[in-house]
Copies of this chain bind each other. A is one copy, B any other.
Amino acid sequence: MKDYIQHHEWRIIEPKFDPSVNRISESLFSIGNGKFGQRANFEEDYSGDSLRGSYVAGVYYPDPTRVGWWKNGYPDYFAKVINSTNWIGIRVAVDGENLDLARCQLESFERVLDMQDGVLSRRFIAQLPSGKRIQVEATRFTSIVDTDNGAIRYAVTPLNFEGEIRFTPYLDLDVVNADSNYDEKFWLETARHADPQVAYLCGETKKTGFRLGVAARFNLTLDGESKTPAATVHDRDCFVGQEVAIQAKQGQTATLYKYAALISCLNVAEGQIDAAACDSAAAAQAKGFDRMLAEHTAAWHAKWQQADIRIEGDVAAQQGIRFNIFHMNQTYTGEDARLNIGPKGFTGEKYGGVTYWDTEAYCLPFYLKTADPQVARQLLIYRHNHLENAIKNAEKLGFSDGAALYPMVTINGEECHNEWEITFEEIHRNGAIAFAIYNYLNHTGDADYLADYGLEVLIGISRFWRQRVQWSERRGGYVMLGVTGPNEYSNNVNNNWYTNKIAQWTLAYTAEALAKVEAEAPEKLAALLEKVKFNGKEDELAIWAQIREHILLPVDDQTGVFVQYDGFMDKELKPMSEIPAAEYPIHQHWSWDRILRSCYIKQADVLQGVYLFEEEFDLDTIRRNYDFYEPMTVHESSLSPCIHAILAAKLGYEDRAYKFYLRTSRLDLDDYNNDTEDGLHITSMAGTWMAVVEGFGGARVHDGVLSLRPFIPDQWRSYAFKITFKGALLNVVVNQEDVQIENQSDTAIELQLFDRSCRVEPRATLVHPVEAPALGQAS
């Protein structure tokens, strides 16, 4: 854990420069706009420790698989969103002395990410080895309005001398991925141009052939007055730029404005990329830094209007939750169904920047309640676009007849992961996709989506479950052998309750969805059933019904809890509090076999199911399972605490709910897991949001109706969150006395508050006292 980030409601502030945490800051201060993103690397040269990263959404490289021992069925490659053209580079020299913070004395330094405005800035006073002192102010953003553009303002002021300030804004394609299996470079240069006004580089990824054109233009001012000194053009392999020098008196400020445009073949036809990039850079330059910034900032303010969470009385918590919301919004915008949310977003290379079940289980609920329904819909369309590959993926594993298994990790629908116990066995991910469809329908009632896309996906997934279970005469039921549940600390188990449960639920929901589409759009259904050859070999609905009825979901007769999987109760069951502190986290201290045969649970497993299907269970059942499993849960996934916070809140374990919330809200800001340098835990940030809105706020959507049951942690004066639901935008404010539901839209909304129906008229506010939780604090 680290504690160098200064607390502030809206800003992330690094108040002094510590090279030993530079990689962490580079992650924390990353900016992006859904189309591309950039780690907080310095514009000027830096010879100290740094992980340079510029990432362009959807541009990936199939890095050939490297494993110790090959298993049949492993994928050939792991798709990686890759480090791309460095567009931020500005070399700075002062009277011929290169600026490099690793070689300067810093009198002051501040790096600030203004989350309200979406702007990264840096201000420092440095003394160069020669003794010359300069002040630098660097400001940049990746525009969420001009989404192909990034802009930089880089201002240098001599403090104790008069001299030459020399800038070399450049583009560099000679980049590597730190995380490359065979130390390959992934880019080939395909076009290059440099003249005194514009620099341009086009690269193509090896194998995948993605084209990325990056153009840059610049302006120069001295104390605000435009200057156009002669430029020396740099033009060599994978590198273009212009070198310009200006004479500045002591106290005068030389400012370079750099406008970059990044255009990939995802958005522009290959032959037009060069022109589009150069045009876009020119347009940005013409619009100018200030106007671009103003529009960008206004757009961020609008985003916050829809998605903010406000916490009063706890600046650290306030900063933490906004940091999470900020990164969720700059990682994914829902504008392009070919994109998704990598575990590290645009903040690092780890996990390859590809899609996990995190998207459906954690991110989708966030976007569903904080953004236009279109955003969540795009995430679902992404999976529908991959259905064919999911069917091929299942075929590779021996399934047939349209059974679909979505990959554990993917960028294009093909499986990337290569650990058998995960790749082949952690199949509950399929259920998370089905549940996300339900969740989306429940929030939006979007019947067209269901008929046009959702049902086809549901049928593919249900067919997979149907083939993946088998009848056991011995057990008198359907069993599902050899799986890994969400608790990855148990591998290759039989009858994982969560997986069996979500399979059962999928089969039921698919039948329900089928009936719904039959009622609402019978022609669409007929066409779909024809397309997927429904009931080709057997009466599929009948068999699904049988499996639903007879799939094993054992309840332990001694404790009354759902049995996590066959044999779990044979283990030595003891609380995680018995693990010596020095052996925690166990995945860094215990060998894998020891973890596997222990009772310890990595993240919610039975409780993940209890959370998803809570409507099916009475509070006693939820409490029984929570009280049994939570003490054995080590929360060694960043996705774990939020589910426990939500359940704890539901059960009235308010202190525990708050404790679990704290564990995730500043996970990256305080570098709890010592891995922020690799990038941020983007997908688990959505979980933190869930902990507030579903946990503290008690927000649920059942049968298309929003319900709330808020409580407020003692530590807070008040908190407020936004919910977008069926056209209404609510601001829910909770303080120690009452709940205020402010309808900020023109749409009235019916909802449940503390189990009572109420209606909030447009632009009206409903006030209601906070009530005690349903079952008190008993345990």
Complex Cα spacing A569 to B474, Å: 7
Interface residue ranges of A546-602 to B (CB < 8 Å): 566-567, 569-572, 587-594, 596-597
Residue numbers in B under 8 Å from A397 (CB-CB): 591, 593-594
Find the B residue at minimum CB distance from A396: B591
Q: Which residues of B contact A493 (CB under 8 A)?
A: 492
A73 at the interface (CB under 8 A from B): yes
Quick check: A593 and B424 within 8 Å, CB to CB?
yes
Q: Mark A465-481, 1 if CB is under 8 A from B, else 0.
A: 00000101011000101
Which of the segments A63-71, A171-179, A376-384 contacts the partner chain? A63-71
Partner of A68, one of B418, B424, B482, B588: B418
Cβ contacts under 8 Å, A569 to chain B: 474
Q: Is residue A684 contacting chain B, with contact meaning CB distance below 8 A?
A: no
Interface: A319 (CB within 8 A): no
**By the criterion CB–CB under 8 Å, are A492 and B596 in contact?**
yes
Q: Is the pair B68, A398 in contact by a Cβ cutoff of 8 Å? A: no
Q: Which residues of B contact A566 (CB under 8 A)?
A: 566-567, 570
Asked whether A570 lies within 8 Å of B482 as measured between CB atoms, the reply is: no
User: 1/0 per position for A445-476, CB-CB distance to B under 8 A?
Assistant: 00000000000000000000000001010110
Instruction: Report whether A68 and B419 are in contact in the complex, using a CB–CB cutoff of 8 Å.
Output: yes
Chain B residues with CB under 8 Å of A65's CB are: 68
Alpha-carbon gap, A593 to B398, bound state (A):
10
Query: Which A349-406 residues have C-beta < 8 A from chain B?
Result: 396-398
Q: Which of B396, B474, B492, B570 contacts A472 (CB 8 A)?
A: B570
B494 and A420 within 8 A (CB): no
Query: Which residues from B are CB-within-8-Å of A168?
Result: none
Bound CA–CA A66/B182 (angstroms) = 11
The 8 A CB mask of A678-711 against B (1 = contact, 0 = none) is 0000000000000000000000000000000000
Identity of the chain B residue whose Cβ is nearest the Cβ of A471 in the assembled complex: B572
A425 is an interface residue with CB less than 8 A from chain B? yes
Asked, given contacts A481-B571, A567-B494, whether A591 binds B475 with beta carbons under 8 Å apart, the answer is: no
A424 to B595, CA, bound (A): 11
Q: From residue A165, how far is it (CB to closest CB) to chain B in Å?
A: 46
- The distance in angstroms between the C-alpha atoms of A569 and B397, with both chains bound, is 23
Residue of B nearest to A493 (CB): B492
Interface of A is mostly: loop
Q: Does A715 contact B (CB under 8 A)?
A: no
Contact with B along A138-182 (1 / 0, CB 8 A): 000000000000000000000000000000000000000000000
* A491 interface residue per 8 A CB criterion: yes
Tell whether A130 is near chain B: CB-to-CB under 8 Å: no
Asked if A72 is an interface residue, CB under 8 A from chain B, the answer is: yes
Interface residues of A in 490-509 (CB under 8 A from B): 491-494
Contact yes or no, B570 A72, CB < 8 A = no
- Closest chain B CB from A568 CB (angstroms): 10
Which residues on the B side are within 8 Å of A591 (C-beta)?
A: 71-73, 396-398, 420, 424
Cα of A65 to Cα of B588 in the assembled complex, Å = 18
Are A479 and B570 closer than 8 Å at their CB atoms? yes
Cα–Cα, bound, A398→B597 (Å) = 12
Given A570-B494, A571-B481, CB of A68 within 8 Å of CB of B71: no
Q: Which residue of B lies closest to A475 (CB)?
A: B570
Residues of B within 8 A of A572 (CB): 470
- Given the interface pairs A491-B492, A494-B570, the reply to whether A592 lies near B72 with Cβ below 8 Å is yes
Among B72, B418, B472, B475, contact of A590 (Cβ-Cβ < 8 Å): B72
Chain B residues lying within 8 Å of A69, measured Cβ to Cβ, are: 418-419
**Inter-subunit contact B494/A492 (CB<8 Å):** no
**Which residues of B sit under 8 angstroms from A594, Cβ to Cβ?**
397-398, 424
Q: Of residues 592 to 615 in A, which have CB atoms within 8 Å of B's CB atoms? A: 592-594, 596-597
Task: From A71, A398, A472, A592, name the one whose CB has the most chain B CB atoms within 10 angstroms.
Answer: A592
Contact B68 A592 (CB under 8 A): no
> Across the interface, which residues of B come within 8 angstroms of A418, CB to CB?
68-69
Closest to A67 in B: B68
Q: Are A570 and B424 in contact (CB under 8 A)?
A: no
**Across the interface, which residues of B come within 8 angstroms of A67, CB to CB?**
67-68
Closest to A181 in B: B68
**In the bound complex, CA of A567 to CA of B590 (Å):** 27
Roughly how many angstroms separate A275 CA and B472 CA in the complex, as a whole number?
72
- Chain B residues contacting A590 (CB-CB under 8 Å) are 72-73, 398
How many angstroms from the CA of A451 to the CA of B67 in the assembled complex? 44
User: Beyond the given A398-B591, A424-B592, could you list 18 further A-B residue pairs with CB under 8 A, ordered by the A residue number?
Assistant: A65-B68, A67-B68, A68-B68, A72-B587, A72-B592, A73-B590, A73-B591, A397-B594, A398-B590, A420-B591, A420-B592, A472-B571, A481-B567, A491-B491, A491-B492, A492-B596, A494-B567, A566-B567
24 A-B pairs with CB atoms under 8 Å apart are A66-B68, A67-B67, A67-B68, A68-B68, A68-B419, A71-B592, A72-B587, A72-B588, A72-B589, A73-B592, A396-B591, A397-B591, A397-B593, A397-B594, A420-B591, A420-B592, A420-B593, A425-B593, A472-B571, A475-B570, A481-B571, A481-B596, A566-B566, A566-B567
> Closest 3 A-B residue pairs measured CB to CB?
A73-B591, A424-B593, A482-B597
